[in-house]
Amino acid sequence: MKLIKVADYNEMSRIAADYVIDKLHRNPQIKLGMATGDTPKGLYRELISDHVMNGTSYKHVQTFNLDEYIGLSGRDYQSYRYYMDTRLFDHIDIDKKNTHLPKGDAVDEFAEAEAYEKLIQDSGKVDLQILGLGGNGHIGFNEPGTPFDSTTHVVELTLATRTANAKFFGSLDLVPNRAITMGISTIMGSEEILLLVSGAAKSTALSRLVLREIDEGFPASILKTHQNATIIADEAALQYLDSVVFGSVPAHDAIHGGRNADIAGFWSLDVPVQDTI
Ligand SMILES: O=P(O)(O)OC[C@H]1O[C@](O)(CO)[C@@H](O)[C@@H]1O
């Protein structure tokens, strides 16, 4: 796993956008896994700006979002479909038919979860999965305790996650209790993973991810076993880890080492891939 340290949210968003655009130029038919929440908003702004300024095309791109709230239709402005349309898809030349999210208003949510997993598997691997990190270690809506071998499923959201997401709804009471989410095994099936982490509120979670053991009580810990996972984290998110991880390696290795030497000026560090859990 590669850990790239950047100054702040804006820099994280720019570097993440460069990363995605580079992959897209290499593979115009790329299958992107998309996340929602606050974290990727800046990334999506940067992608739109690049599309407008440089004409990067999404005509042949397919997207698969991680999750959707149960009970919300795509027209509901709190739905993740609405979020993706208004924050990205409506502003680039992507074919909406190629943008996929679970249907939150499906009559049978369990059948919908199964159908969504099949859609992902039938399309082949997601090439690059973008992730945010929940304060309790959730990825997608996979809450602590979710089996690592889970596929797309219906989940009861924890109070911690509903409380964290109340900021989007105005009140905790309005936050749905359930969602459909890609499972952990679905996420881990992606060719490559890009985890974005910003802000002091995520620093405990990020240090637990990097330093502590892999366990289902902290879903994001599984990312340490992925062969091609990168974290881009800002200084605030790295405040606990900084001294422990970056402080413990020679500056030269930390700044210019590893596979990431081409992103000059940003600290990067290879965290060994772990293969035992
Ligand atoms: O980016 P935020 O708003 O901090 O949320 C972190 C994660 O939690 C979620 O909102 C819920 O899954 C994700 O969409 C996001 O990646």
ipTM of the complex: 0.94
Q: Is 162 left (phi over 0), alpha (psi -120 to 50) or beta?
A: alpha
Whether residue 85 lies inside any domain: the answer is yes
Whether residue 277 lies inside any domain: the answer is no
Q: Catalytic: 136? A: yes
Residues of the chain above pLDDT 70, percent: 87
Work out the average pLDDT over 132-153: 96
Amino acid at 213: E
- What tens digit of pLDDT does each residue of 157-193 get? 999 889 989 988 999 999 999 999 999 999 999 999 9
Q: What is the CATH number of the domain that holds 74?
A: 3.40.50.1360
- What tens digit of pLDDT does each residue of 108-138 get? 999 999 999 999 999 999 999 999 999 999 9
- By residue range, what is the domain housing residue 158? 2-270
Whether residue 100 lies inside any domain: the answer is yes
What's the domain count of the chain?
1
Amino acid at 19: Y
Question: Ligand 1: which atom is nearest the Cα of residue 80?
Answer: 14
Please tell me the distance from the alpha carbon of residue 276 to that of residue 253, in angstroms, as a whole number: 26
Whether residue 126 lies inside any domain: the answer is yes
State pTM to two decimals: 0.90
* Confidence (pLDDT) at 211: 85
DSSP conformation class of 120? H
* Confidence (pLDDT) at 242: 74
Catalytic residue among 138, 142, 153, 216: 138
Q: With a 6 A CB cut-off, is 129 part of the ligand 1 pocket? A: no
Whether residue 275 lies inside any domain: the answer is no
Whether residue 165 lies inside any domain: the answer is yes
Whether residue 25 lies inside any domain: the answer is yes
Whether residue 276 lies inside any domain: the answer is no
Q: Catalytic: 65? A: no
Q: With a 6 A CB cut-off, is 67 part of the ligand 1 pocket? A: yes
- What tens digit of pLDDT does each residue of 9-35 get? 999 999 999 999 999 999 999 999 999
